[in-house]
Chains A and B, each alone.
Chain A
Amino acid sequence: MSIEVEVNENDLAEMVEQVWESYLDPEGVSPLIPTYDENQPSEVHSSVSITGSWTGFVVYASSTAAARRAAAAFLAMEPEEVSDEDLSDVLGELANIVGGNVKAMLPPGALLSLPQVVLAPEATARFPHTERVSGVYGLWEGEPVSISMWHGRGDNKEGAE
């Protein structure tokens, strides 16, 4: 029996809005503009895995320029001052924040991993045996950013496959 999980695009969009309001766009002048384009390009990404009552990943992906801008907003510095270490740190924290809030909407008993960050396109680090269950895709100041949720296929099955 598989547990049906209802975390839809609207739920993710609400979380993303809170992240923007809190850290990336406190003045409310540069929101994430939805594109609904699941195939938009990304150059860097971070993820957290969720295990237990639900198994899967929450992935934050963006262009390098958007990641640099996010790091600059968090660290109160200019985008050109941001190092790769800063990029990794902020991307990891963004995945952690969204992933933690997603976990709170899942059945009790889910565990959140520490974030994994890859400063390379998502296509180079696909998550095997998963399918996308929801996602928010948009442009932030003209740069692609997405937050998506991937479900591990075949989890929570009773008995042997």
Chain B
Amino acid sequence: MRAMVIDDSRAMRMILKRIVTKLNFEAVEAGDGQEALDLLNEMSEVPELALIDWNMPNMNGLEFVTHARADPRLREMTLVMVTTESEQSQIVRALAAGAHEYVIKPFTEGAMIEKLALLGLVPTGANS
């Protein structure tokens, strides 16, 4: 299984990459939404999961989700926003645009794994 980690912070990409790699995902990184779309266009197989920051240069996470949802090829990709944008109104916007789940920074590894288990991407109890 593959996961795409989309965040303009290399440090945050590394943290997320460490978590998904532990869960047996092969991780691919992108520094913003546009870079992620470009990478996805080059891939023969679409990743099962994308972890997406909101505030990024060039193309933000909400714009990426909107683009991804408009592309039938990316329909099977699970989209999880991982962001500091924690107001209810922002969560509603992201889910309305097509994100499946929402994780607020700062998050612990356990919280992230629980969220992925909730989505059926890792076995329940993977955190124990």
B9 partner residues in chain A, CB cutoff 8 A: 89-90, 92-93, 96
B10 partner residues in chain A, CB cutoff 8 A: 75, 86, 89
Q: Which A residues from 76 to 130 make CB contacts under 8 A with B? A: 76, 86, 89-90, 92-93, 96-97, 99-101, 103-104, 108, 112, 114
* Cβ contact within 8 Å between B86 and A22: no
Residue of B at shortest CB range from A85? B10
A36 within 8 Å of B (CB atoms): no
- Hey, what's the 0/1 contact readout for B57-95 against A, CB within 8 Å counting as 1? 100000000000000000000000001111101000000
Alpha-carbon separation in the docked complex, A93 to B15 (Å): 12
Of the listed stretches B33-41, B43-51, B104-112, B116-124, name the one at the interface; the rest are far from the partner chain.
B104-112
A86 partner residues in chain B, CB cutoff 8 A: 10-11
- B interface bracket (residues with beta carbon within 8 Å of A): 20 to 34
A residues contacting B by CB (< 8 A) are 18-19, 21-23, 26, 71, 74-76, 86, 89-90, 92-93, 96-97, 99-101, 103-104, 108, 112, 114
Residue of B at shortest CB range from A109? B89
B14 within 8 Å of A (CB atoms): yes
Closest approach, in angstroms, between the C-beta of B84 and any C-beta of chain A? Answer: 2
* Cβ contact within 8 Å between A71 and B84: no
Contact A112-B106, Cβ < 8 Å, known A74-B14, A74-B15, A100-B85: no
A114 partner residues in chain B, CB cutoff 8 A: 8, 55-57
Residue of A at shortest CB range from B14? A75
B22 within 8 Å of A (CB atoms): no
The residue from A18, A76, A89, A90 contacting B106, defined by CB atoms under 8 A apart? A18
The residue from A18, A21, A26, A100 contacting B83, defined by CB atoms under 8 A apart? A100
B28 within 8 Å of A (CB atoms): no
Closest approach, in angstroms, between the C-beta of B63 and any C-beta of chain A? Answer: 14
Closest approach, in angstroms, between the C-beta of B45 and any C-beta of chain A? Answer: 28
